[in-house]
Amino acid sequence: MAKYKIAGDGVKDTETGACIPNDEGNRHWQEYLTWTTVSGNVADPEFTTQEIEDNMWAEIRTQRDQLLSSSDWTQLPDSPLDDGTKATWSVYRQTLRDIPQDYPTGSEIVWPDIPI
C-alpha cells in the first residue's frame, strides 16, 4: 500500500487518514507532490478493481432484489394470473436469481425482460 491514495480531487494520507486537498498552498499537498515527483512514487487509485466490482455487484443485487420483490405477487396462490402467465413470471424470477452465477462480471449482465 502506498503512503497516499487518490481521493476525489486530492489525496488521502493512508498512514494518518488525513484528506489533503489539491491546494498548492497546503504544505501536505507539497509533501505529496515531492513524494511523487522527486521520489517517483505513485499514489494508489481511489478504488481498487476489486472494490469497483464489489460495489457493482452490490448495486446489481439491490436492483435484482427489488425486481424479485415487486413480482412476488405473481407466484401467490390467489394471484389473478393463469397458469401459463404464472409460469412465464416464474422463469423470469429464476433468471433474476441466477444472475450472479450466470455472469462472471457485473458489466456483462443482460437483464431479462419483464413479462407483460
Instruction: Give me the half-sphere count of Cα atoms (radius 13 Å) on the Cβ side of residue 110.
Output: 2
Check residue 35 and give its pLDDT.
94
**Residue 45, all three cell numbers:** 487509485
Check residue 19 and give its pLDDT.
93
Residues 97 and 77 in one domain: yes
Residues 59 and 23 in one domain: no
Check residue 51 and give its pLDDT.
86
The answer to the question of residue 70 being in a domain is yes
- Name the residue among 72, 114, 80 with its Cα closest to residue 95: 114
Q: What are the average pLDDT values for consecutive 10-residue runs of the chain, which has 116 residues? A: 88 92 95 92 88 91 97 97 97 97 92 94
The answer to the question of residue 9 being in a domain is yes
- Domain range for 79 is 49-108
Check residue 75 and give its pLDDT.
97
Check residue 82 and give its pLDDT.
96
CA–CA gap between residue 71 and residue 89 (Å, rounded): 8
Residues 53 and 104 in one domain: yes
CA–CA gap between residue 52 and residue 36 (Å, rounded): 25
Domain count, the chain: 2
Residues 32 and 61 in one domain: no
**Residue 57, all three cell numbers:** 455487484
**Residue 48, all three cell numbers:** 481498487
Task: Identify whether the C-beta of residue 89 lies closer than 8 Å to the C-beta of residue 74.
Answer: yes
